Amino acid sequence: MNSFTAEHRSPYFFLGLFLVCLFAARTDGLDNRHATAERWGSPAPVLLDLSLAGPLRGLASDFDVLTVFSIYHAASQEQKSRGSTELWPVMAAYLQRAQEMDPRFFDVYRLSGALLAYDAKMPHLAVQLLQRGAEQLEDNWELPFIAGFLAYDQLKDNSLAYSLMKEAALRPGTPPLTVHLAARFLAKDEGNSAGIAFLQTMIELMPEGYHAGLKQRISELQGSQQ
């Protein structure tokens, strides 16, 4: 019974002490999971990222997109509580980085077409990213289609919208809608109803958590239609 001496107790004492310290530090210290604008900052220089990623550029791109999800969540919260946020340019930088790491990663373009264009209100950048993607994915009609619609709806640049929509219409597997929209942009006619149709298609493609910006735009278009 008495063999459990001070000598034996001391490791347990220190183990307990260190566990308490660790718990206290983790409870009151900085937590990387709750990131803020200052904490995120911009991504590292592209050459450094590419060198670190080596043959795992795909994985590096996946992690950039995961960061975009986190920033979107934090930015939405901040926008709700403070009415503004400085996180949108940071989100845009991570989307650009994800595109540089893996230009064929389609989630990047989905997020650009929805979050970057509508929530972050950075349609110029969204169109640029989608155009770059369209150059890489030569058989894909969706990227010039989304870029064309954004050029029409957000940039109000009908000639760019027409040229992008025409590009989409010429690619394999394109639905008749692209041809229809290209014609409409060329004629600068009845944009709102086409816009609503497009946004509803986008809503079907996006998970529920990302519908807010798109729904807001639909109601704006519906309002101006009446």
Two tokens, residue 1? 């019974």
Interface with another protein includes 172 (CB under 8 A)? no
Q: Single out the residue of 19, 25, 66, 187 in contact with another protein (rule: CB under 8 A).
A: 66
Query: Where does this chain touch another protein (CB under 8 A) — which range of 58-66, 76-84, 121-129, 146-154?
Result: 58-66
CB of 210 to another protein, least distance (A): 8
Give the amino acid at 165: M
Q: Which is nearer to another protein, 114 or 165 (CB)?
A: 114
Residue with token string 């459990």 = 4
Residue 207 in contact with another protein, rule: CB under 8 A: yes
- Residue 211 within binding range of another protein, rule CB under 8 A: no
Sign of CA dihedral 162, 180, 108, 31: positive
Asked if 69 is part of the footprint of another protein (rule: CB under 8 A), the reply reads yes
Question: Which string of b and e fits 43-56 if b means at least 16 CB within 10 Å?
Answer: beeeeebeeebeee
Spatial neighbors of 225 by CB under 8 A, at least 6 apart, are: 192, 193, 196
Residues that bind another protein in the complex, under the rule CB under 8 A: 47, 50-59, 61-62, 65-66, 69, 102, 104-107, 110-111, 205-207
